[in-house]
Every structure is written in C-alpha cells, then in structure tokens.
Amino acid sequence: MNTLSSIDYIIFVLYFVLVASYGYYVFKKKKAQEHDSKAFFLAEGSLTWWAIGASLIASNISAEQFIGMSGEGFFVGTAVAAYEWIAAIALIIIAVWFMPVYLKNRIFTMPQFLKTRYNDSVALIMAIFWLFLYILVNLTSILYLGATAITGLVGDATAGTPEFQNILHLIMIGLAVFALIITLGGMKVIGYTDVIQVAVLIIGGLATTYLALTIVGDKLGVGNSAIAGFKALMNDSPEHFKMILPRPAATTGTINTPLNLDIQKWVVLPGIAMYFAGQWIVNLNYWGCNQYITQRALGADLKTARTGLIFAGMLKLMMPVIVMLPGIAAFVLHKHNALPGFSGSKDGAYSAILSFLPSGLKGLSIAALTAAIVASLAGKLNSISTIFTLDIFSKYIAKEKADEKKLVITGRYTVLVASILAILFTWNDLLGIGSEGGFTFIQKYTGFISPGVFAMFLLGMFWKRTTGTAAIVGVVLGFVLAIFFNNYAVGIFGKETWLYTAYTYETLGKDGLAHATTEIPFLINMGWSFVITVATMIGISLAGPKINPKAFMTDKALLKLDNRTIAMIVITLILLSALYVKFW
C-alpha cells in the first residue's frame, strides 16, 4: 500500500522546485554562453572548489550506493566501506599527481588525453568503450535501482505484479526526464545544482541513518537513542563490523549454510587480498581516468581542482554512515523479525528501513534518494554527450568543422538519445541487474575494462617510453584477460592455482532449485589482469624509442602543495587511519 502522506509529497515537491528553480537561475545567468561548447561541457573556469567537491559526491553517490551499498551492508557489513574509504586516498593521489598532467596539457576529455599521448586509434577505441559502458552499465543500473527503490515506497502494488511494473516504468521515466532537464543546461547548471543535491543527500541520508539507529535501539530494548542503537548493532552482529573478512574454506557451500554465505561474501570482498589487487584499480581508475568524474575538475585551475578533489575525499569518509549503516540496521532488524514484509533481498534493505520512517522524514529521505539518482544520471549524461560530441562527432562525423552552436545542439541531442536507450534497456531489466545485485553488477562489469584502461593511463602519464602500440594492446588485453579470468580460467586451470583460488557456492534460481556457481573473486581477477597487462605493455614499449615523442613532460613545480592542501591531506589520513584501527 502507499505509505506516503501529504507532508511527504509536499517536501518532495519543494525539493523539486528548489533544484529546478536554482538550475534555471544558473542557466539564465550564463545565457551569453549558451552556445559555448567549453562552457556547456566543462563549465570552464566557473566552478569553485566547494562546487567541484560537492558535484563529485553528488554524482558519485547514487542508487548504486543508497540501494547497492546499503544492500552489501546488509549482507556483508562494514567491509564494503573500503570502496568509500580507499576512495579518499585515491582522490588525494589524483589531486596531487594526475591533475597537474591533465591541466598542464589542457586535457578536456579522456579520449583527448589518449589522442595527445598515444594516437587517434587508441582515443577512438576508448571513446566507443566508454559510451557503451556509461549507457549499458552505469545509466541502466542507476535508473533501475533508483526506480525500484522509490516504487517500493510510493507504489500501491506488490513487487512483481503488473501494477508495480507500471508504477516502476512511470518513475523510471520521471527520473530520466528530471535528469534530462538539468543536463540540457550544461555542466555549470549540473555543478551548482549538485551543491543543493548533495546537501539534500547528506541531510536526508543522515536523518535516515539516525532514525534507523533509534528504531534498532527501541526494537532491541536498549533505549531509543541513535548511540544506543549503534552499540546494539555492534553487540548483536560483531561480524558485520569487520573490515577484513576471514577466508572461507575452498569447498562447496550449499544453500542455507554459514559456509555458503561466507563464500558469497568473500567472492565480493576477498579480505586483505583485495587491498593488493582490484580495490586500488577500481578507485584510481574511477576517480582519475573517468570522464564522468574528472570532468568536474578539468575546467578549473590546479589549486581549485586539487582543493575540490581533496574536499570530496573528506566527504567520502562519512558516506558509509549514510549508505551502509541503514543496511546493517536492516540486517539486525530482519534477524529479530522486526521488518515485517521484508523478504531479505539485499537490494530491498534500504527501502525496508525507509518504510519505518515517520511522515515528513520519509519525504525528505525519498528526496535525498532522488537527488542522488538525478545528480548521477545528469553527470553520466553530460559525460556521454561530451565524449560523443567532442571526440567522435566533431572529428569523424561532421563534414566540416562544426561551429560552437552545432556542437552544443549535438550534445543536447546525444543526451536525449542516451536517456531513451537507458530506459529501453532498463524497461524489463533486460540486463539482469536485479538478479546480479546492483552494486556487484556495476563493479563487476566496469571491472572488465578497468585493468586495461588504468594500465594505459598510468604508464602513459608516468613512463615516457610507453608507445601507442602498447596502449592498444593493453586496453584490448586487459579486457580479454578480465573476461578470461571471470569465465574461463577455472575450466582450464582448475579451482586452485598460485594465481587464485576459486570458490563454489549455491543460489536459488527462479525455478526454486539450487544452482552452483564457481568463480574467482572479481577484485582478484582485476588485479591479475592489470599486472599481466602492465608487464605486456612494458615489454612492447621496450622495443620502441627510449622516450616516446608524444610523452608528457613533467613540471615539478606543479607538484608543490600549498599549506591548506597539506592540512586537508593530513586530516583525511588521520581520520582514515582511526577508522581502520577501530574496525579492522
């Protein structure tokens, strides 16, 4: 049944009006730049450090985190916070070492970086790769997870029924249209509306977490304060507050056994091993080699870009409180039969917690969830538009050099087409996002190209000998190796080798029968794919000149940090160390 009251709808409408009005104000203010491609795609020079930092978080925190990471919090616990906390270090690395390279060489898109450093072929291959990835993995998963969560809160029907599907489709279209409106205003509108989005996201997310903890305290009879609720979580389920998971036995886990659950957790988060493998590749590739993210900083000066990135890293430290703790709260409540109607599906954990919230706060929480979804959709759409327009249309499609107006119009049409494609692929979950689990779906399939892409960027930035041939081989080899380790390695080499250990666990299929799955943890797959790719690229490059003519020249003066930047870095590292000491 519909669980929202009039005050919930009023709060949500106020949020929508606030964002839309501010976005329109920013758009009108920059009317003179309406047909300036640099302004449309990059908001060049107009975003402050706090707008960059807020926009990074608003675009990053989406249904993937609210629904997916909350679900992993329900299933695994604090170990999933590694994705957020390691990101803080990754942002420092990007700010200190990557940004000087980008800004000194006037890089505006990631394919442009590859063309400047390598050649046109590498740039074109990766532009196509990124377009497919952003549309088929990122846009679809954000849209599906977000629409499913909101439908569960505002719908009048049971999940799986035709009525539920109809509401799901309407909300899906509504989210896409809302994001489309913001995106058509360009990066400046996205950047500054993201400041409101991240404020709503944090306030609504913290309010949800606070209420979730008070509910836990009340249901477990330890008092109805958030502190009492948090202590109750730790006392009731201490295994959910460990950053490093214990390694399970490499035997087959069967349905409804502790071993089966331990194996499923390990496959997603393989203990300390992930810190020597895929965890760094995931974060450094996402934050440093990703048009969707780096675009916010590429139009700023170095000091502004650095401060914005490190500010975003500081905000990342608090994100698990918002997106993970509600999932752990749902786990404990479900364990004590205090979540009636909840099936135990991890992607339904966040919605189950929201159903407990009082009128008014529920509307704020839905606004926070919508803010996260819309901001991410808008950022992804803008990046798709930027890559297609600047790196494909203007270079390979336009018969003559396109003027500024034509580029902006093409960018807007691209946004519209990408939105329609995302809706079509998400309509009946054609890609199987629901069965895979939202968070795992994104990490796993993004991981197919991350090893090769990161190897290509890392060597291209910091090793002058890397050649264009090595780059092409690297990106293709990284992709092939990721698929090989994921789908074929176990069948050829067996479950136990010096490279990896594969695990077998059972899940219930739609037919109600147990089905066995054998796989290597995908973060381990990414690690070995990266190592082999780097070694191959180095071997190929050694056959070339000692210094590639297209290599970037380093400017050590750009690596110098001001006192404010150093202070922010030190504070971030101290806080992160304290968190790991507490929850190791």
Whole-number Å distance between alpha carbons of 335 and 318 = 26
Residue with the two structure tokens 């707008």: 51
Q: What is the DSSP-derived secondary structure letter of residue 518?
A: E
Q: Residue 134 has what pLDDT?
A: 84
Three-state secondary structure readout of 549-583: CCCCCCCHHHHCCCHHHHHHHHHHHHHHHHHHHHH
Q: Which two tokens stand for residue 173?
A: 């279209």
Whole-number Å distance between alpha carbons of 274 and 460 = 25
Q: Which two tokens stand for residue 336?
A: 């004590």
| pTM of the complete model beyond 0.85 | no
Q: Residue 293 has what pLDDT?
A: 77
What is the Cα 424 distance to its own chain's centre? Answer: 21
CATH homologous superfamily of domain 6-29+48-245+298-427? Sodium/glucose cotransporter (1.20.1730.10)
In the chain the first and final C-alpha atoms are separated, in Å, by 42
Q: Residue 295 has what pLDDT?
A: 72
Phi, psi (5° rounding) for residue 518?
-115, 125
Residue with the two structure tokens 């396109």: 402
What angle (nearest 5°) sits at the alpha carbon of residue 17, between those of residues 13 and 20? 135
Q: Residue 438 has what pLDDT?
A: 57
Q: Residue 488 has what pLDDT?
A: 92
For residue 95, CA distances in Å to 301, 306, 524 come to: 12, 5, 27
Backbone CA torsion sign across 117, 121, 406, 412: negative
Whole-number Å distance between alpha carbons of 370 and 357 = 17
pLDDT in tens, 396-424: 887 666 677 788 788 888 888 988 888 88
Q: Residue 456 has what pLDDT?
A: 93
Strand partners, 516: 506
Length of the chain in terms of residues written? 584
Whole-number Å distance between alpha carbons of 143 and 135 = 11
What are the percentages of helix, strand and coil residues in the chain, rounded to 5? Answer: 75, 5, 25
What angle (nearest 5°) sits at the alpha carbon of residue 28, between those of residues 22 and 33? 125
Whole-number Å distance between alpha carbons of 141 and 145 = 6
- The segments of the chain whose pLDDT lies below 50 read 1-2, 32-33
Q: Residue 431 has what pLDDT?
A: 66
For residue 416, CA distances in Å to 23, 116, 140, 177, 359 come to: 18, 29, 14, 9, 35
Q: Residue 203 has what pLDDT?
A: 81
8 A C-beta contact, residue 418 and residue 322: no
